[in-house]
Amino acid sequence: MKDGLLQIAMQGMKDSEGSGTLAHHFLDGIMKIKSNFRRFLGYVKPYWYLIFFAAIGGAVKFTMPLVFPQVLSYLVDNVLGVDSAMSLELKRQTIVNLVVLVLGLYVFVYIPFTYLRHFAAQKASNKTIFDLRYDLYLHIQRMSASYFNSRQSGSIVARLINDIAQAQNLIGNALTNVWIDGVVIFFMLFIMLRINVSLTLISLTIFPPYIFITRKLKRRMREASRKVQDGTEAMQGNLQEKVSGYNVVQSFTREPEEQQSFQDEARALLHDSLTGAKWNSVNATAVGFLTGIAPVLVVFAASYLILDSKLTLGQMILFYSYLGSFYLPVNRFSELTQVLSTSMAAIDRIFEVLDIVPEVQDAPEAEVCTKADARDIEFRAVDFRYFNASRPALHQVDFTIKEGETVAIVGPSGSGKTTIINLIARFYDVSSGAILIGGRDIRRYTLRSLRQNIGMVFQESLLFCGTIKDNIRFGDTSASDREVREAADSANATRFILEQEQGFDTIIGERGTRLSGGQRQRIAIARVYLKNPRILILDEATSALDSESETQVQEALELLMAGRTTIVIAHRLSTVMHADRIIAMDDGRIVEVGTHGELLSKRGLYWHLHTTQYRTENNPAVH
Ligand SMILES: Nc1ncnc2c1ncn2[C@@H]1O[C@H](COP(=O)(O)OP(=O)(O)O)[C@@H](O)[C@H]1O
Ligand SMILES: [Mg+2]
């Protein structure tokens, strides 16, 4: 919340229109935080009827037991009292009648309404949370590369799971209890006033200190919750990273340091949690004290009134029994303050994500990029700088790749090769200049249709936990078993797949870890086969492989490239020699363009890369 304000404040300061806008932004910020709750209620709205049922059920559940003090007081004053005028027979009959009445009420009213109260409340909260979580998921899916690159995946997951769960508490208990408790308090007040006004006023004396304390603590509790949730997120992010990178941790024997940093993080979280616990406890104690001391005061005051014959003993018992039912919702209101603080912190965090506008998104009148459009690629004076980077990654990059051509991009590490393909797939948008596909700026196509026409194979192909078949079908979920098999054939993958215990149904573990690098790569190629894009991008697809798998993967790639417009980025120059054209990059600029022969004769960068590699590859001793 603080960060939000700060950001908004900074935006305001950047604004050239002066201090008026600064104040304006501040106000906006505060309004926004307040309005998060309203936005959250927007998600509850479709299920208002469930909340309504839950409230009705709750009102009955809580008010029905109030009948009993009436019965008790009636018993004391009219049946059991010494001055009762009833005959013994009538007294017995009255007691039986009362028992039947009370039991009947419990069975036929209390049971169904209590069930309704609990089930409807939980149904409402689960349904709301389902919708909110789904929206958040859809939104995160639309985020651009920069969002994912600047966050740990575990912390993104934390918002989807933990924060949503925190927000759920608010609807489950709080939102229904508010109504019930509000109603119950007024109802009780009415009954109590009818019994005795002075006693009622004494009961109310706890309210001013109660309100004062609650107000003071609310903000603190919310801040503490926010810290706990931020800390949990950070911890989850780091844990996920270290768990999946267990082999790096173990091979460097960094376990002690990792233990230490985990402990530090967990301790910081503990500290924040305890701060929260402290405020919560202060709140609970204060409210417990106030609601505990009040009945005592009431009894003493009532005793005086009885001595003065202004109150009967039955009335005192009646009033005293009601007092419990009066303070119960008061106590619950204070628990609500706690729930509200945690939930509101979570809701703030959820809407923070929902408010991030994806950097790359469809233009208002974006058109579909058809297969016919996805022919050629043209870069026109493209400049690009990553967010927060000190230097541009691309300078005035200009080139054209005609339909069906294969163009290779070479250059030292960090020269901007991967950046070029990131821009083609619109993982990022150019800073200036333009990229055209089929003669049209790619920003005028819908993201989805553009990406549907582009197939990519990276150096490390990420597969997902599931069967081999599922992973190949990732390229086209409607593909038949036969098509999957054909794709595997073309990718040179069928043989090793059939050697697996379950063939195509073999489960390959998270990130495909149960396969070798070359095998993973061939499944990734099969997956692109099924996708069947017009444009193909290969980013160091064979660089991580040993020479035997490289040959197999290279064969598969060549088959895949046939008839497609292809960009191939490769370290091993043997794979780029046959390209129609080679673009040599250095430091974000194109320094040479030509065929293998042309560039060699230039004796420039390409020649240099080629000769150094030739030397090292043929003479391992020289490095
Ligand atoms: N996500 C990123 N954020 C900031 N800078 C980046 C990012 N990715 C790459 N860079 C920088 O951009 C430059 C080009 O990187 P890249 O295109 O990956 O090079 P190559 O693929 O040729 O090795 C490098 O200086 C690199 O440090
Ligand atoms: Mg790269």
- The mean pLDDT value for 13-38 works out to 55
- The mean pLDDT value for 229-257 works out to 90
- The mean pLDDT value for 343-370 works out to 92
Confidence of residue 3 (pLDDT cuts 50, 70, 90): very low
Q: Is the pLDDT of residue 66 over 90?
A: no
DSSP 510-545: GGGTTS-HHHHHHHHHHHHHHH--SEEEEESTTTTS
CA separation for the pair 459, 545 (Å, rounded) = 9
> Does 110 contact ligand 1 (Cβ within 6 A)?
no
CA dihedral of residues 218, 221, 223, 228 (deg, nearest 10): -160
CA distances from 482 to 473, 489, 523, 529, 556 (A): 11, 10, 15, 13, 18
Least confident of 2-11, 68-77, 133-142, 239-248: 2-11
Tell me how far the alpha carbon of residue 589 lies from the centroid of ligand 2, in angstroms.
Answer: 14
As a whole-number percent, the residues of the chain with pLDDT over 90 amount to 47
pLDDT of residue 32: 55
Q: Could you give phi then psi for residue 389, rounded to 5 degrees?
A: -80, 145
- The mean pLDDT value for 240-249 works out to 89
pLDDT of residue 271: 94
Please name which of 103, 96, 106, 108 lies closest in space to residue 64, comparing C-alpha atoms: 106
- The mean pLDDT value for 142-157 works out to 89
pLDDT of residue 26: 53
Superfamily for the 373-453+572-623 domain: P-loop containing nucleotide triphosphate hydrolases (3.40.50.300)
Q: Is the pLDDT of residue 498 over 60?
A: yes
Asked if 367 and 444 touch (Cβ cutoff 8 Å), the reply is yes
Token readout for 470 is 């599922």
Please name which of 408, 452, 367 lies closest in space to residue 561, comparing C-alpha atoms: 408
Q: Is the pLDDT of residue 405 over 80?
A: yes
As a whole-number percent, the residues of the chain with pLDDT over 70 amount to 92
Ligand nearest to the CA of 390: 1
pLDDT per residue over 386-399, tens digit each? Answer: 988 899 999 999 99
Q: Is the pLDDT of residue 510 over 70?
A: yes
Confidence of residue 17 (pLDDT cuts 50, 70, 90): very low
Q: Is the pLDDT of residue 106 over 80?
A: yes
Q: Is the pLDDT of residue 460 over 90?
A: no
Q: Is the pLDDT of residue 18 over 50?
A: no
> Does 149 contact ligand 1 (Cβ within 6 A)?
yes
pLDDT per residue over 339-356, tens digit each? Answer: 888 888 899 999 999 999
Q: Is the pLDDT of residue 177 over 90?
A: no
Position in ligand 1 atom list of the atom nearest CA 391? 25
Q: Is the pLDDT of residue 330 over 70?
A: yes
Tell me how far the alpha carbon of residue 497 lies from the centroid of ligand 2, in angstroms.
Answer: 29
> Does 247 contact ligand 1 (Cβ within 6 A)?
no
Q: Is the pLDDT of residue 25 over 50?
A: yes
Q: How many CB atoms lie within 10 A of CB 484?
A: 24
Return the domain boundaries, the chain.
8-354, 373-453+572-623
Q: Is the pLDDT of residue 497 over 50?
A: yes
Highest mean pLDDT among 82-96, 475-489, 539-553: 475-489
> Does 411 contact ligand 1 (Cβ within 6 A)?
yes
3-state secondary structure labels for all residues of 180-215: HHHHHHHHHHHHHHHHCHHHHHHHHCCHHHHHHHHH
Confidence of residue 2 (pLDDT cuts 50, 70, 90): very low
Confidence of residue 621 (pLDDT cuts 50, 70, 90): very low
> Greater confidence, 417 or 26?
417
Q: Is the pLDDT of residue 31 over 70?
A: no
- The mean pLDDT value for 457-464 works out to 89
CATH 1.20.1560.10 fits 8-354, yes or no: yes
> Does 389 contact ligand 1 (Cβ within 6 A)?
yes
CA separation for the pair 58, 54 (Å, rounded) = 6
Report the mean per-residue pLDDT for the chain.
Answer: 86
pLDDT of residue 617: 54
Provide the b/e sequence for 298-335 (b: ≥16 CB within 10 Å). beebbeebeeeeebeebbbbbbebbbebbbbbbbbbbb
Tell me how far the alpha carbon of residue 403 lies from the centroid of ligand 2, in angstroms.
Answer: 24
**CA nearest ligand 1 atom 24, residue:** 414
Please report, as a single letter, which amino acid is at residue 136: L
DSSP 450-497: HHHTEEEE-SS----SSBHHHHHHTT-TT--HHHHHHHHHHTT-HHHH
pLDDT per residue over 419-428, tens digit each? Answer: 999 999 999 9
Position in ligand 1 atom list of the atom nearest CA 585? 22
Asked if 344 and 222 touch (Cβ cutoff 8 Å), the reply is yes
pLDDT of residue 473: 94
pLDDT of residue 149: 87
pLDDT of residue 474: 93
pLDDT of residue 84: 73
Tell me how far the alpha carbon of residue 248 lies from the centroid of ligand 2, in angstroms.
Answer: 22
pLDDT per residue over 279-329, tens digit each? Answer: 989 988 998 898 888 888 889 999 999 999 888 888 888 898 888 888 888
pLDDT of residue 615: 56
pLDDT of residue 610: 82
Confidence of residue 1 (pLDDT cuts 50, 70, 90): very low
